[in-house]
Amino acid sequence: MKSDSAASGVVVVFFGPPGVGKGTVATRLAEELKYHFISSGDLLRANVKEGTELGREARSHMDSGGLVPDQLVTRMVLKSLDSLSGGIFLDGFPRTQVQAEELESYLRGRGWRLQVIDLTADDRFLMKRLVERIICRSCGAIYHRTNLPPRVEGTCDHCGGALYQRDDDRPDVVARRLEVYHQQSAPLREHYRRQGVMLTLSGEKPLEETLAAVRAALIGRNGAPE
Protein backbone atom coordinates (compact mmCIF):
# COMPACT_ATOMS: atom_id res chain seq x y z
CA MET A 1 0.00 0.00 0.00
CA LYS A 2 1.35 3.45 -0.89
CA SER A 3 2.08 6.07 1.71
CA ASP A 4 -0.25 9.06 2.13
CA SER A 5 2.44 11.27 0.59
CA ALA A 6 2.72 9.00 -2.41
CA ALA A 7 -1.05 9.01 -2.83
CA SER A 8 -1.05 12.83 -2.96
CA GLY A 9 1.39 12.76 -5.88
CA VAL A 10 5.18 13.02 -5.90
CA VAL A 11 7.46 12.63 -8.90
CA VAL A 12 11.07 11.74 -8.16
CA VAL A 13 13.49 12.48 -10.99
CA PHE A 14 16.65 10.36 -10.99
CA PHE A 15 19.35 12.62 -12.41
CA GLY A 16 22.94 11.71 -13.21
CA PRO A 17 25.42 10.65 -15.91
CA PRO A 18 25.24 7.48 -18.02
CA GLY A 19 26.25 4.44 -16.01
CA VAL A 20 25.82 5.97 -12.57
CA GLY A 21 23.08 3.48 -11.72
CA LYS A 22 19.92 5.57 -11.94
CA GLY A 23 17.84 2.84 -13.55
CA THR A 24 19.07 0.09 -11.23
CA VAL A 25 18.42 2.12 -8.08
CA ALA A 26 15.06 3.38 -9.30
CA THR A 27 13.72 -0.03 -10.33
CA ARG A 28 14.82 -1.68 -7.09
CA LEU A 29 13.25 1.01 -4.91
CA ALA A 30 10.12 1.33 -7.05
CA GLU A 31 9.31 -2.30 -6.33
CA GLU A 32 10.14 -1.98 -2.64
CA LEU A 33 8.36 1.33 -2.00
CA LYS A 34 5.43 0.64 -4.38
CA TYR A 35 6.21 3.55 -6.69
CA HIS A 36 5.58 3.57 -10.43
CA PHE A 37 8.73 3.56 -12.59
CA ILE A 38 9.03 5.24 -15.98
CA SER A 39 12.16 5.14 -18.14
CA SER A 40 11.96 7.61 -21.01
CA GLY A 41 14.17 5.33 -23.14
CA ASP A 42 11.97 2.29 -22.50
CA LEU A 43 8.87 4.39 -23.12
CA LEU A 44 10.23 5.63 -26.44
CA ARG A 45 11.16 2.13 -27.59
CA ALA A 46 7.75 0.75 -26.55
CA ASN A 47 5.87 3.46 -28.46
CA VAL A 48 7.95 2.84 -31.57
CA LYS A 49 7.49 -0.94 -31.32
CA GLU A 50 3.73 -0.67 -30.74
CA GLY A 51 3.31 1.82 -33.58
CA THR A 52 1.44 4.42 -31.55
CA GLU A 53 0.90 7.87 -33.06
CA LEU A 54 3.73 9.25 -30.93
CA GLY A 55 5.90 6.25 -31.75
CA ARG A 56 5.43 6.69 -35.51
CA GLU A 57 6.31 10.36 -35.22
CA ALA A 58 9.43 9.53 -33.18
CA ARG A 59 10.48 6.82 -35.65
CA SER A 60 10.37 9.24 -38.54
CA HIS A 61 13.06 11.30 -36.81
CA MET A 62 15.11 8.24 -35.82
CA ASP A 63 15.00 6.71 -39.32
CA SER A 64 16.31 9.94 -40.83
CA GLY A 65 19.21 9.97 -38.37
CA GLY A 66 17.90 12.90 -36.35
CA LEU A 67 17.27 13.32 -32.64
CA VAL A 68 13.76 12.91 -31.28
CA PRO A 69 12.66 16.50 -30.52
CA ASP A 70 12.25 17.70 -26.94
CA GLN A 71 8.56 18.39 -27.45
CA LEU A 72 7.85 14.86 -28.68
CA VAL A 73 9.70 13.18 -25.82
CA THR A 74 7.90 15.46 -23.36
CA ARG A 75 4.48 14.62 -24.83
CA MET A 76 5.26 10.92 -24.58
CA VAL A 77 6.32 11.10 -20.92
CA LEU A 78 3.53 13.40 -19.78
CA LYS A 79 0.92 11.26 -21.54
CA SER A 80 2.22 8.24 -19.59
CA LEU A 81 1.75 10.18 -16.34
CA ASP A 82 -1.89 11.01 -17.07
CA SER A 83 -3.18 7.60 -16.00
CA LEU A 84 -1.00 7.29 -12.89
CA SER A 85 -1.36 8.42 -9.31
CA GLY A 86 0.79 8.18 -6.21
CA GLY A 87 4.58 8.06 -6.25
CA ILE A 88 6.42 7.99 -9.57
CA PHE A 89 10.10 7.56 -10.41
CA LEU A 90 11.39 9.09 -13.66
CA ASP A 91 14.65 7.92 -15.26
CA GLY A 92 16.12 9.67 -18.30
CA PHE A 93 13.71 12.60 -18.22
CA PRO A 94 14.02 15.55 -18.16
CA ARG A 95 17.38 15.99 -19.89
CA THR A 96 17.07 19.61 -20.97
CA GLN A 97 15.82 22.88 -19.50
CA VAL A 98 12.84 22.87 -21.86
CA GLN A 99 11.81 19.37 -20.74
CA ALA A 100 12.25 20.33 -17.08
CA GLU A 101 10.02 23.37 -17.39
CA GLU A 102 7.30 21.40 -19.20
CA LEU A 103 7.36 18.74 -16.49
CA GLU A 104 7.13 21.31 -13.70
CA SER A 105 4.20 23.04 -15.39
CA TYR A 106 2.42 19.68 -15.67
CA LEU A 107 3.06 18.85 -12.00
CA ARG A 108 1.78 22.24 -10.84
CA GLY A 109 -1.40 21.62 -12.79
CA ARG A 110 -1.95 18.37 -10.86
CA GLY A 111 -0.80 19.73 -7.52
CA TRP A 112 2.08 17.24 -7.38
CA ARG A 113 5.49 17.69 -5.78
CA LEU A 114 8.89 17.30 -7.45
CA GLN A 115 12.00 15.78 -5.91
CA VAL A 116 15.34 15.19 -7.64
CA ILE A 117 17.90 12.54 -6.69
CA ASP A 118 21.24 13.53 -8.24
CA LEU A 119 23.68 10.61 -8.42
CA THR A 120 27.27 11.60 -9.21
CA ALA A 121 30.47 9.72 -10.15
CA ASP A 122 33.89 10.39 -11.64
CA ASP A 123 34.16 9.93 -15.42
CA ARG A 124 36.92 7.31 -15.07
CA PHE A 125 34.72 5.28 -12.75
CA LEU A 126 31.80 5.52 -15.19
CA MET A 127 33.94 4.54 -18.16
CA LYS A 128 35.03 1.32 -16.47
CA ARG A 129 31.47 0.53 -15.38
CA LEU A 130 29.93 1.12 -18.81
CA VAL A 131 32.43 -0.64 -21.04
CA GLU A 132 32.03 -3.82 -18.96
CA ARG A 133 28.23 -3.69 -18.94
CA ILE A 134 26.27 -6.44 -20.69
CA ILE A 135 22.51 -6.67 -21.13
CA CYS A 136 19.99 -9.44 -21.73
CA ARG A 137 18.41 -9.25 -25.18
CA SER A 138 15.18 -10.80 -23.89
CA CYS A 139 14.34 -9.19 -20.54
CA GLY A 140 16.77 -6.25 -20.35
CA ALA A 141 18.50 -7.40 -17.14
CA ILE A 142 21.83 -5.64 -16.63
CA TYR A 143 25.11 -7.36 -15.68
CA HIS A 144 28.72 -6.28 -15.25
CA ARG A 145 31.59 -8.52 -16.32
CA THR A 146 33.54 -7.76 -13.12
CA ASN A 147 31.09 -6.61 -10.46
CA LEU A 148 27.92 -8.51 -11.36
CA PRO A 149 28.68 -11.36 -13.78
CA PRO A 150 25.99 -13.88 -14.78
CA ARG A 151 26.21 -17.36 -13.29
CA VAL A 152 26.72 -18.78 -16.78
CA GLU A 153 28.81 -16.67 -19.16
CA GLY A 154 26.71 -15.09 -21.91
CA THR A 155 23.38 -16.22 -20.42
CA CYS A 156 20.85 -14.26 -18.35
CA ASP A 157 20.25 -15.62 -14.83
CA HIS A 158 16.59 -14.56 -14.94
CA CYS A 159 15.27 -15.71 -18.31
CA GLY A 160 18.10 -17.56 -20.04
CA GLY A 161 18.35 -14.95 -22.79
CA ALA A 162 21.57 -14.08 -24.60
CA LEU A 163 23.72 -11.27 -23.20
CA TYR A 164 25.29 -8.58 -25.38
CA GLN A 165 27.10 -5.25 -25.20
CA ARG A 166 25.22 -2.24 -26.53
CA ASP A 167 26.94 -0.22 -29.25
CA ASP A 168 26.74 2.90 -27.08
CA ASP A 169 28.79 1.17 -24.36
CA ARG A 170 31.93 1.11 -26.52
CA PRO A 171 34.75 3.28 -25.07
CA ASP A 172 34.67 5.96 -27.79
CA VAL A 173 30.89 6.24 -27.61
CA VAL A 174 30.90 6.33 -23.79
CA ALA A 175 33.39 9.21 -23.83
CA ARG A 176 31.11 11.16 -26.17
CA ARG A 177 28.00 10.37 -24.12
CA LEU A 178 29.69 11.69 -20.97
CA GLU A 179 30.81 14.84 -22.78
CA VAL A 180 27.27 15.52 -23.98
CA TYR A 181 25.87 14.81 -20.52
CA HIS A 182 28.17 17.34 -18.85
CA GLN A 183 27.23 19.98 -21.43
CA GLN A 184 23.52 19.42 -20.87
CA SER A 185 23.56 18.79 -17.14
CA ALA A 186 25.25 21.94 -15.86
CA PRO A 187 22.29 24.30 -16.43
CA LEU A 188 19.73 21.67 -15.41
CA ARG A 189 21.57 20.89 -12.16
CA GLU A 190 21.74 24.59 -11.33
CA HIS A 191 18.04 24.93 -12.15
CA TYR A 192 17.14 22.22 -9.62
CA ARG A 193 19.59 23.53 -7.03
CA ARG A 194 17.96 26.97 -7.12
CA GLN A 195 14.58 25.37 -6.47
CA GLY A 196 15.89 23.47 -3.45
CA VAL A 197 14.44 20.14 -4.67
CA MET A 198 17.70 18.30 -5.41
CA LEU A 199 19.64 15.94 -3.16
CA THR A 200 23.11 14.95 -4.41
CA LEU A 201 24.48 11.50 -3.48
CA SER A 202 27.52 9.48 -4.58
CA GLY A 203 26.87 6.82 -7.20
CA GLU A 204 30.31 5.23 -6.69
CA LYS A 205 29.45 3.33 -3.52
CA PRO A 206 28.32 -0.31 -3.49
CA LEU A 207 24.73 -0.72 -4.67
CA GLU A 208 23.30 -1.57 -1.25
CA GLU A 209 24.85 1.58 0.26
CA THR A 210 23.45 3.74 -2.53
CA LEU A 211 20.03 2.13 -2.13
CA ALA A 212 20.10 2.80 1.61
CA ALA A 213 21.01 6.46 1.12
CA VAL A 214 18.30 7.06 -1.49
CA ARG A 215 15.74 5.09 0.52
CA ALA A 216 16.44 7.20 3.62
CA ALA A 217 16.10 10.40 1.59
CA LEU A 218 12.79 9.34 0.05
CA ILE A 219 11.25 8.13 3.28
CA GLY A 220 12.44 11.25 5.08
CA ARG A 221 10.74 13.49 2.50
CA ASN A 222 7.70 11.41 1.56
CA GLY A 223 6.97 9.17 4.52
CA ALA A 224 7.43 5.44 4.92
CA PRO A 225 5.18 3.13 2.93
CA GLU A 226 2.38 1.57 4.95
**Residue ranges for the binding site for ATP?**
19-24, 133, 142-143, 205
Q: Which of 22, 28, 129, 189 is catalytic?
A: 22
The annotation places the binding site for Zn(2+) at 136, 139, 156, 159
Does residue 133 have an active-site annotation? yes
* Cα–Cα distance, 73 to 94 (Å, whole number): 9
Q: Which of 28, 129, 133, 189 is catalytic?
A: 133
Q: Contact 139/133 with Cβ under 8 angstroms?
A: no
The annotation places the binding site at 19-24, 40, 45, 66-68, 92-95, 99, 133, 136, 139, 142-143, 156, 159, 166, 177, 205
Name residues whose C-beta falls within 8 Å of residue 215's C-beta, 6 or more positions apart in sequence. Answer: 29, 32, 33
Q: What is the DSSP letter of 68?
A: P
The annotation places the binding site for AMP at 40, 45, 66-68, 92-95, 99, 166, 177
Q: Which of 59, 95, 128, 221 is catalytic?
A: 95
Q: Which of 34, 128, 177, 215 is catalytic?
A: 177
Q: Contact 204/123 with Cβ under 8 angstroms?
A: no
For the chain, counts of helices (H) and of strands (E): 9, 8
User: What is the signed CA dihedral for 7, 221, 213, 184, rounded to 10 degrees?
Assistant: 90
Does residue 28 have an active-site annotation? no
Does residue 137 have an active-site annotation? no
Query: For residue 51, is it left (φ>0), alpha (ψ between -120 and 50) or beta?
Result: left
Q: Which of 56, 166, 176, 193 is catalytic?
A: 166
DSSP secondary structure of 77-139 = HHHHHHT--SEEEEES---SHHHHHHHHHHHHHHT-EEEEEEEE--HHHHHHHHHTEEEETTT
Positions annotated as catalytic residues are: 22, 95, 133, 166, 177
